[in-house]
Structure 1
Amino acid sequence: MATPLPAGLTAGVYEIDPSHTAASFSVRHAGIAKVRGSIAVTSGTITVGEDLESSSVTAELDAASVSTGDAGRDGHLKSADFWHADEKPTWTFTSTGIRADGDDYLISGDLTINGITKGVELETEFTGTAKDPFGNNRAGFEAKLEINRKDFGLTWNATLETGGFLVGDKVKIELDVSAIAKEA
């Protein structure tokens, strides 16, 4: 049985607007605090079908754009210890299915980081539509997921004197997406 689209969202192709879209992450540091950062979403397409099941999402992110507020840490994250940003600069997400989850949605898909692809699930909220001052029809979405960084070959760490490790394994990722409807 086909699941209807959320109220206000119409079928069509929507291009993700990088200047109004953000991807942020947080990870435990030394087991006591969180380091937060962002990475640029450079492009993507949301294809909204006549129903939820016939819809799809693709997105690309730029590993070299990482920003945590500390240039030294950002450089380390871009290095071969973590993201290999020079060799593997693009992260990708390609949906494999979308389904309703109460008032929200679950988007299953393949996430590729550091050249390694794993299946993930994004808890997603449709935040509405609007016409911007330039006449563009926009659709908004918020999504979140949690990954284990080691699943993507991000294994660098340092042992703490007091026990434990410097970098936590769980990484929380949040996305705020604004997409513009393409003219038919």
Structure 2
Amino acid sequence: MSTTTTTALPTGLTTGTWTIDASHTEATFTVRHAGISKVRGTVAVTEGTITVGENLEATSVSVTLDPSTVSTGDANRDGHLKSGDFFDVEKFGQWTFVSTGVREEGKKHVIVGDLTIHGETRSVELDTEFNGTAVDPFGNTRAGFEASVVISRKDFGLTWNAALEAGGVLVGDKVTIALDVSAIKS
């Protein structure tokens, strides 16, 4: 006889469909540069849905991002990132994340899912924090979330690099991705 464990939803999060508000949602990334500093940037989240089930295990998430919107504060670097050396936005015009499971770990939640970047799909685990709900001045019920994951860019076919004269490489392999999400109850 097997037993299925179900985890209650966080207080304030109700069942139903929540649409990610792209204008109030941000995806950022950080990667080591020349081994001594970090480059930070953003990529636009264009759409997404959080379907909240009766319990945590019955909840799912799907998100689409647009790599052609990459912004690091430097137009030349952004152009290089959009090129075939990195994101190849002409060939790979969107990134996606589709959850395969949600679980509670201590005081946080972990969303497991398939992340597709540059045509490569890998399973990742996003450490996620539910920040609560609020009704905005327009009567919309909103939920806020923060999530993060560290990936290897090489796992996604992003292998361009340049050797440094003193040793090492220009672009680090580990990339931290952070999401700040606002979703509206449909």
Class of the TM-score when normalised by the shorter of the 2 chains? over 0.9
Task: Tell me the distance in 2 between the aligned counterparts of 1:169 and 1:142.
Answer: 23
Task: Tell me the distance in 1 between the aligned counterparts of 2:146 and 2:105.
Answer: 14
Tell me the secondary structure at the aligned position of residue 150 of structure 1. Answer: helix
For 2:161, the equivalent position in structure 1 comes to 157
Shift of 1:159: 0.2
Task: Tell me the distance in 2 between the aligned counterparts of 1:17 and 1:58.
Answer: 13
Are 1:9 and 2:40 matched, yes or no? no
Scaled by the length of structure 1, the TM-score of the pair is 0.98
For 1:115, the equivalent position in structure 2 comes to 119
Tell me the secondary structure at the aligned position of residue 53 of structure 1. Answer: helix
Scaled by the length of structure 2, the TM-score of the pair is 0.97
Are 1:70 and 2:78 matched, yes or no? no
Q: Structure 2: any 5+ residue segments left out of the alignment?
A: none
Tell me the secondary structure at the aligned position of residue 9 of structure 1. Answer: coil
Task: Tell me the distance in 1 between the aligned counterparts of 2:180 and 2:152.
Answer: 21
Tell me the secondary structure at the aligned position of residue 73 of structure 1. Answer: helix
For 2:22, the equivalent position in structure 1 comes to 18
Are 1:105 and 2:109 matched, yes or no? yes
Cα-to-partner distance string for 1:97-140 (whole Å, 9 max, x where unaligned): 00001111000000000011000000000000000111101011
For 2:56, the equivalent position in structure 1 comes to 52
For 1:174, the equivalent position in structure 2 comes to 178
Task: Tell me the distance in 2 between the aligned counterparts of 1:135 and 1:86.
Answer: 39
Q: 1:141 aligns with which of 138, 145, 154?
A: 145
Q: What's the Cα RMSD here?
A: 0.4
Q: Structure 1: any 5+ residue segments left out of the alignment?
A: none
Shift of 1:87: 1.2
Task: Tell me the distance in 2 between the aligned counterparts of 1:104 and 1:161.
Answer: 43
- Which consecutive segments of 4 or more residues in structure 1 shift more than 2 A? none
Task: Tell me the distance in 2 between the aligned counterparts of 1:156 and 1:53.
Answer: 38
Task: Tell me the distance in 2 between the aligned counterparts of 1:101 and 1:22.
Answer: 24
Shift of 1:164: 0.3
For 1:42, the equivalent position in structure 2 comes to 46
Q: 2:128 aligns with which of 124, 129, 150?
A: 124
Letter in 2 for 1:93: F
Letter in 1 for 2:12: G
Letter in 2 for 1:115: G
Are 1:94 and 2:98 matched, yes or no? yes
Letter in 2 for 1:175: L
Task: Tell me the distance in 2 between the aligned counterparts of 1:87 and 1:133.
Answer: 41
Aligned length: 182
